[in-house]
Structure 1
Amino acid sequence: MVTFIAIDIFLFGMFRQNMNMQAENVSQGNTNSTITKEMKSDQIKFGDLSTSQSEAYYISGSQNDGLRSMMGQLANQTPHYVGHEIQSEFKQPVDVDPKNPSKTINALIKDSSFMIDGNDYKYSKDLSTDQTIVYVQKAVGQEIYSSEAQIKFFMNENNQIVNYTQTHLDDITTLREKSDTISEQRALIWLYQYNEIPNNTQVAWTKLGYTKLITVEPDRVFIPTWIIAIRPQNSPQVQLKRINAFTGGIIRETNAELKNGQTNGGIS
């Protein structure tokens, strides 16, 4: 009860704060088409942007020792449990197609002797690199972008996965009623108006998913978030930005998570 009271107080404060940010930072006089033209004149490149809205929840989940209790079912690997995370090495490397690694892993991950709760995860091409294949946990129709809810497979130079790490959120539940989210177009426009997109930048990809808002042990509260990956033109480095999909307020990073070889910044 104390946890949920604390969560409610925090969510109310975040709602008020983000609404104030929205009112202070967004010019209501400009139309979307005018602003997107300004972005293009600033040499900011992006594809077609959806104007459709969807619906989502606040959700919560907990990180406990559920993975450790099921480690005994894993076969042909040597797992260790460190800080709510499985770290495991395969006894025999697993061959994958470097151009389509998920084709092999999607079949294997359903086997409970290969992976615990593998059906809870989905391949993320955007977060993966040539050396690291990333899967993210799914919840209530969306994906969770957090280091506390993902699998990372690590490849050697022979295109074989040799080891992996896994984290998992348990007891995922919805908080409050389902609410409308802002569109992809509106999220990008607000990010631009917050001066978070430099000139001569390309929008590499955008995703609507859940990212962590607050931790009230043992619970984590997640909010629907527009995750926007921006890349300086002619650069491989990608930086992740977050926009609150309910209010349009920018969400600042508190620590570096979901970090890989091609991504700077992270998602908690």
Structure 2
Amino acid sequence: MDWNRTKSIFIWVFLILNLFLYTQYLESYNEGRKIEVLGETTKIEAHLKEDNITYIALPNNNESAAYYSGQIKNFSPSEVPYFANQITTIENDNKLVVAMEKPVKLQENAARDPYTEFLHSYVHEGDSYVLWNVDEEKKEATFFQKVNNLTLYYNVRGYVKIYWNDDNRIIAYEQTMLEKHEKLDKQQNLLTSKQVLQILYGRNLLKPDSQILNMNLGYSTIVQLTQTQVFAPTWEVRVKLADGTEEIHFVNAVQGKIVEIQNDLSEIVEQTEDLEE
């Protein structure tokens, strides 16, 4: 008997057997994960029903997105965009502060909302921002810049805020901008809307008798205090509480972590300036 040849045959048999067993393990593991996810989905629906947490419609398509980066736009005097009827100054190299020589009336009958109409007509690259909030009491509207055509939440380097007077005329606005957006990796499979609700419910962030108004996919900043910043796909979940107030939760759409976002742009400015000194 050729012992070397027999030994080689045994080695190959064992390798094939191990490969077969490993394949069986993977199939079993993946099947178990499918059952686990299905169980979680069924469980969250039951929990929401028990706590009278309602929703009208949730995104049900399989979303995917990539991480992105962007650079802070620094403005030199020669690069300041020119618009008639505007006096522009530069603050901290990266913020445009603009005063209207003659206040501009909000167009109430515009095809878009009057704030977005103003933005598209009077603000540099205004179509790259999306309306986030209107504060009638303070007479100001806040826009966030878009990354990969999705909203970038609360980044002090990528927003526009406009101000108006008692006559509903725009008197001023301020603008910061992120540029040179680049995809950092391949498309990532994202958590589904129900998986995100499961995470929020498990953290006791969904209160009884509340209503989930909508869920949107956007970006949050994971590296902000540098010239180049990094953005992660993030689910935005708006919830109306029993007392009529609203809460907004943000969840990293890849990792499932709760994203703590500082939601006051002026406070972010103060904090970043302190850190950069």
Q: Tell whether the structures are fold-level matches, with TM greater than 0.5.
A: yes
Higher relative contact order (CA 8 A, sep 6+): 1
Give the structure 1 partner of residue 54 of structure 2: 45
Whole-angstrom distance in 1 between the partners of 2:167 and 2:54: 36
Kindly provide the amino acid, as one letter, of the partner of residue 98 in structure 2: S
Give the alignment's Cα RMSD to 1 decimal: 2.7
1:24-52: CA deviation from partner (whole Å, max 9, x where unpaired)? xxx86843133123123213232221222
Counterpart selection for 2:131 from 123, 138, 141 = 123
Tell me what 1:184 maps to: 193
Deviation of the 1:105 alpha carbon: 4.8
Letter of the 1:91 partner, please give it: E
Unpaired stretches in structure 1, ≥5 consecutive residues: 1-26, 260-268
Change beyond 3 A, Cα 1:200–1:149: same
Aligned to 2:75: 66
1:242-253 to 2 correspondences below 5 Å: 242-253=250-261
- Structure 1 residues 139 and 29, CA gap change in structure 2 (3 angstroms): closer
Q: Is the 8 A contact 2:131 2:142 kept in 1?
A: yes
CA contact (8 A) 2:40 2:198 kept: no
Relative to structure 1, the CA distance from residue 104 to residue 29 in structure 2 (aligned partners, 3 Å threshold; closer, same or farther) is closer
CA contact (8 A) 2:159 2:176 kept: yes
Shift of 1:235: 2.8
- 3-state DSSP class of the match of 2:73? coil
Q: Percent identity?
A: 21
Paired residue for 1:201, among 196, 203, 210? 210
Which is helix-richer, 1 or 2?
2
Structure 1 pair 226/213, CA: closer, same or farther in 2 (3 Å)? same
Q: Map Cα deviations across residues 80-121 of structure 1 (whole Å, 9 max, x no partner).
A: 22232222221222222458694445455445xx32222322
Equivalent-residue separation in structure 2 for 1:28 and 1:56 (angstroms)? 21
Deviation, structure 1 residue 169: 0.3
Match status 1:234 vs 2:243: yes
Number of residue-to-residue matches in the alignment:
227
Match of 1:256 among 242, 253, 263: 263
The structure with the largest alpha-carbon Rg is 2
Q: How much does 1:225 deviate?
A: 0.1
1:102–1:129: structure 2 CA closer, same or farther, 3 Å change rule? farther
Q: Which amino acid is 1:214 matched to?
A: V
Q: Distance in 1 between matches of 2:186 and 2:167?
A: 49
Q: Distance in 2 between matches of 1:107 and 1:191?
A: 36
Other-structure match for 1:23: none
Aligned to 1:96: 106
Secondary structure of 1:158's counterpart equals: coil
Letter in 2 for 1:243: V
Shift of the alpha carbon at 1:159?
2.3
Q: What SS is found at the alignment partner of 2:67? A: strand
Aligned residue type for 1:132: E
CA 1:99 to 1:155, structure 2 compared with 1: closer, same or farther past 3 Å? farther
5 Å-filtered alignment, 1:100-119, equals 102-111=112-121, 114-119=122-127
Q: Secondary structure at the match of 1:94?
A: strand
Once the two structures are superposed, the pairs formed by residues 139-158 of structure 1 within 5 Å of their partners are: 139-145=147-153, 146-158=155-167
Distance 1:216 1:94 in 2: 35
**Gap regions ≥5 residues in structure 2:** 1-35, 267-277
CA separation in 2, counterparts of 1:100 and 1:72? 24
Q: 1:32 aligns with which of 35, 41, 55?
A: 41
For 1:164 and 1:140, how far apart are their aligned partners in 2? 24
* 1:121–1:135 CA contact under 8 A, matched in 2: yes
State TM-score, norm by structure 2.
0.71
Structure 1 match to 2:89: 80
| Deviation (angstroms), 1:65 | 0.9
